Amino acid sequence: MRARLAPQQASTSSALRAPPSNPLFTPSPPSLPPTRSSSHTSNFINHKHLSQNNQPTTSINMSAPNANGPNEGIVGQAVNSAKNAANYVSETIQGSSATASKEANKEQAKGNVPGSDSLSDRASGALDAAGDKIDEKKHEGSAKANKEGI
């Protein structure tokens, strides 16, 4: 009569059993399932590529509107549209703020602000106005891209 193993022992003894030895067989590590990205363009972002001299180069990650993927359902498309609308509003507000700051700094650069009419204050106002102009254009461009993505 054969001795019966307890259920715990039976499962562990079969799980610990090694496969038959085969010198030509090398087990591969388990692969991870593919992840679903929210944008079909994200497949090209942050991947390392090799240049002509085999040096790794990294692409630049830039902000862009949320694009609808090829197999994205209606709910996913609606969510992307809502995100783009929120980003459009945010960028528009930031652009308006940069415009107001730019105008205030232009007045300071002209010497029209009481108490800030020294040469250094005027130069500082001019530099700040130039920086605000750059921010203004950046936010306008981002807002336009998000508006077109709605």
Domain count along the chain: 1
Residue 85 covered by a domain: yes
**Is residue 133 assigned to a domain?**
yes
66 located within any domain: no
Residue 104 lies in domain: 76-150
Q: In three state form, how does the secondary structure of 24-86 look?
A: CCCCCCCCCCCCCCCCHHHHHCCCEEECCCCCEEECCCCCCCCCCCCCCCHHHHHHHHHHHHH
pTM of the predicted model as reported, rounded to 2 decimal places? 0.52
Asked if the structure places residue 115 within a domain, the reply is: yes
Whether 91 and 65 have beta carbons less than 8 Å apart is answered as no
Q: What is the pLDDT of residue 48?
A: 46
Residue 135 lies in a domain: yes
From residue 57, alpha-carbon distances to 18, 39, 41, 53, 62 in Å are 43, 22, 18, 11, 16
Query: Tell me, what's the pLDDT at 133?
Result: 96
- Evaluate whether residue 91 is within a structural domain: yes
pLDDT string in tens for the chain (150-residue length): 555 555 554 444 444 555 555 555 555 555 555 554 444 444 444 444 444 555 555 554 445 677 777 777 889 899 999 999 999 999 999 999 999 999 999 999 999 999 888 999 999 999 999 999 999 999 999 999 999 988
